[in-house]
Structure 1
Amino acid sequence: MANGEGDQYDSSRIASSTIAGSATSAVSDETMTRISRHYFTNDNDRSSGDGFSVDIIENIQEEYGMFVWPCAIALAEYVWQQRSRFSSKSVVELGAGTSLPGLVAAKVGANVTLTDDSKNPEQVLGLTWGEWDPPLFSLSPDFLLGADVLYDNSDFDDLFATATFLMKNCPGCVFITAYHARSGHHLIEYLMSKWGCKCTRLLDAFSTVPPTKASNLHGSIQLAEIVLNDHIT
C-alpha cells in the first residue's frame, strides 16, 4: 500500500489498512515480522508506471542484520539512479542482510550474487570477510555493493581484504558502499591507502535520495565508490 511518503511498512500477514490516505501496520505476535515496501520510480512518481517496488521481510526479533537500515535504502536508490551502469553486469553484495541494494540491482538487469557471513548464510552465498571460503574464488564481479558494512572497526581490515582480493581478480571492478559518518572517513581513507585502493567518488547520500525518502532517513550517510589504486599491481 502506498501513502505517497517514501517507503513504508505492511504486515507480513497483510493486516495493514489504509485510512484517510495513510497506512497503518500490524505486526504478528507469533512471527514478529513485517514487510517493508520500497519504491523506485522516476521523479518519485509512482503513478507513471516507470519503476518498481521491492518488498523486504524484516524480523523484529533478530539482530540488526534483519532490518532495512538507512544505508541500504540510500545505496539501493543510488543503484536505481545509476541503473544503466548495472544492466547486464555481474554484481556481488557483501554483508547483504536483507539484500535491498542487491535486489534492486537484479531488478535493473544485473546478474547478482548475494553474500553474507558463512556462519549464517540463510538463503545467500556464505562468504566470511578475511577468510578464503571456496565460493570466493568463483566470483567475478563488475561491482561490489556494501550497505553499512563499515560499521564495526574490528571488521574493517577483513572487509577490505575480501574486497581488494575480488577487485584484483576482476580488473575494473568497483566497490560501492554507503556508510554512516560514525565510521569516520579518515579511518576509511587510511584503510584504502593500506589496501592499495582509492576513492573515485564521495557523495553525501542525501544528495541522491528523493526528498520523500530522505525525510525518513536519519544520520549523516556518505556514499563512496572505491577502486584499486592504478599504481598497485
Structure 2
Amino acid sequence: MSAHSHGVTSLSPDQEAEVFALRETLRRVCSGFEFAVCGVAADVDDIGEAHHRAVLRLLCDDIEAGAQRYRRKVIARDPSLASVFGAGLAFDTDVDAARATSLEASAVVRADSFAPRYQVALKRDHAQVSWFEWFCQAFGNPPHSLRVAGDAERAQLFPRFCQCTGLLPGEGIVVLDWVGDPEREPERSTWSDYFEDGKEWWGIWCFTVWNPRRRILAAAMASQTD
C-alpha cells in the first residue's frame, strides 16, 4: 500500500501480509465485508475526520478496482458479455459528500466473547442492543451464509477481523459511522450507490476506526442482498 495524504502511510510488511491474508479469507468465505487498513505517521498527533476520510477513500478505491478486475476477467472468458457490463461495474461514489457521526467506543468488547453464530435480533429489546452487537451479528450472518471450512474457522473470523482493524476494547479507539440507519436517516448513505443492495433488507455498514495504541486507521464496508 502506497503512502497517502493526511499523514496516512503504509503498514509494515508483516501488517500488510496480515491484511492481505484476511481479505482473501473473507472473499473466499463470502463474508461480504470489505476493509482497508493504513498506518499513521509517528509525527501526526491530532487524528481527525480528514484522516478517517482518507482511509475510507482508499477502501472505496479498492472496491472500485476490484469490481473492474472482475469485469475484465468475465469479459476475457466471454467477450459477448462486454455489452452487458457496459462501461464497467463502477459505483457512483462521492466520499467528500459522506458525513460522519461517532459510534460509542465503549460498546466494543472482546470479539471472542461472542458465540460464532451470535444472534440478538430475536432475543433482546432492539433498543438495548449496541451497534457492536449488531455488527457482530451481521458479520457472522451474511445473506448467503459463510462458506467456512468448519466451526474452528468460523470462530476465528470475527476476532481476526477486530484484531486486524484495531477494533479492540481498552485501546482508546475512535469509531466513526458514515451511513447511519438507512430507514431513519436515508440521506446519510446517498453518497454512494454501493449501499443500494443492502437497503433491501440485510443492511449497510460503513465505519472507520482509529486505534492510537497501534497507530492504525481502518475502514470497513458492507452492503448485501440475496
Provide the TM-score with structure 2 as the length reference: 0.26
The TM-score normalised by the length of structure 1 is 0.26
Greater strand content: 1
More helix by share: 2
